[in-house]
Every structure is written in structure tokens, then in C-alpha cells.
Structure 1
């Protein structure tokens, strides 16, 4: 275990956590602004008089959330919170602006293809940067564990 009982993840595990970060936050009920929701027509749907179904909530996900308040088992809630905390803690140690920007977009749920278009680099380069970030985060967590032991 790492800092304050935090688990240490290898680079592959960190990469998986980065890929699933926005999904885990949504599953825990955190409001995540989609990087794709900057279209005023989408953002202001209710105020432009668009028709809705006969029920107030037309999206099945909120219906499920309100119908059954504890969708996730407690074990998953703890696991997701631990993984989110890990990323949140170690992402603050990134120094390069491009790394910070690319990680931000990836954690918000943007696909690597769209990050590449936005940054003016190849998809392969985006994946390599994210992979390097995952490796450094894993190494930082190991170093953090070693400094806690001494």
C-alpha cells in the first residue's frame, strides 16, 4: 500500500485507470462536463422548446439512478474512489504543459483521436504521451511508498 493505505499500481494499471477515469467518476455520481458538450444547442436543449417524452426524465441513466439509489456495490465505490484519488494525487506532479493538457482531455473522456486533432499531433503520439504519464505516475507512487517506509 502507498501513501495513507493507497495501493500502488503498475504502468499498465495506471493506463487502464486513466482510460476509465471519467466513467468511474460518472458512476460515482460526480458531475463531469463532457468535452464534447460545447454546442449551445445541446447545452440549452430545455430552453429552446424541444419536445420531451411524457416523463420528466427521458434519459434512462438518471431514471435508473433515482429508482435505485445504490447502483454500485460498496466494494466498487471504494475501488473507484481509490483509483480516482490515485490519479488526482499523482497528476498534480506533472510538469510539462502538454502532458497536463493531454491528460486533462483524456480524463474528461475525450478520445485520443480527438485529442490528436486538437493538439496537432498524431494519435500514436497522444497514446505514447499518455503511456509515459502512466509510467511516471506508477514510478512516483513507488517512490512515495519508499519514502513513507524510511
Structure 2
């Protein structure tokens, strides 16, 4: 489990436990209810929002001008770094190679049989293990 996940889980547990303890001593405590609600919201945020794993099924149409495809795996730190950087940018499609056999085959073809990620594809470039700057340069060249 990543350190960030552990910190999120610890914060959620502390809020919830503080609220429950407060409510046990004073059932009408507004602060106790506030802590319980914050703890529950922290759990929801940590598990359903912050750990979102984007996936778009492979399609050749994804390699349109000015767009990029990131082929990624969940256990790859470099993949997660690119995801954090470009996840909200609409020019990028993220394909989880563990969920898409076509994308996994494409990675293996590009990486001499290895399922090594991240691989970023644009209309004109194929980048293995790129930095964010490499990706932005390739994206500009794909227009």
C-alpha cells in the first residue's frame, strides 16, 4: 500500500475515532458528529475519488492529432506519476494494459516482448518511460 494511502486511511480513522469518543461522552455533541461525518467523507474520498484508475479501451481513433495515449500499469510508479500529471488533461487517454489485451500486445511489440510501462503513443511518436517534458514535446509534434 502506498504511503499516501496509509496517511489518508490514518486521517479518516482519526476523525472517525475522535467523533465516536466524543459522542460516547456527550451524545449531543455537534463536534462529535462533525468528526464522524468528516471521517466518513475522508474514507469515501480516499477510496473512491483519489484512487481512481482511469481506463479507456484501445481504439486506433485515440491517436488523433494533438492527442496522446498512455499505456500504464497500476504497480508502475512512473505510470502513476504520468497519471497524476496528465489525468485531468483531456488530450490524454489512459489505457490499463492489465485490463486491455490489445494494449498489452502493443506494449509487448514495442518493448521487445516485455510488458514494460509507461509507454506513451502519439500520432508521430512512441515513448518508453518518458518524462512529463518528453510527453509534452511529443504531443506538440503530433499536431
Shorter chain as normaliser: what TM range? Answer: under 0.3
- Higher Rg: 2
Which structure exhibits the higher relative contact order, with contacts defined as CA atoms closer than 8 Å and separated by 6 or more residues? Answer: 1
Q: Which structure has greater strand proportion? A: 2
Report the TM-score, using the length of structure 2 for normalisation.
Answer: 0.26
TM-score, structure 1 as length reference: 0.25
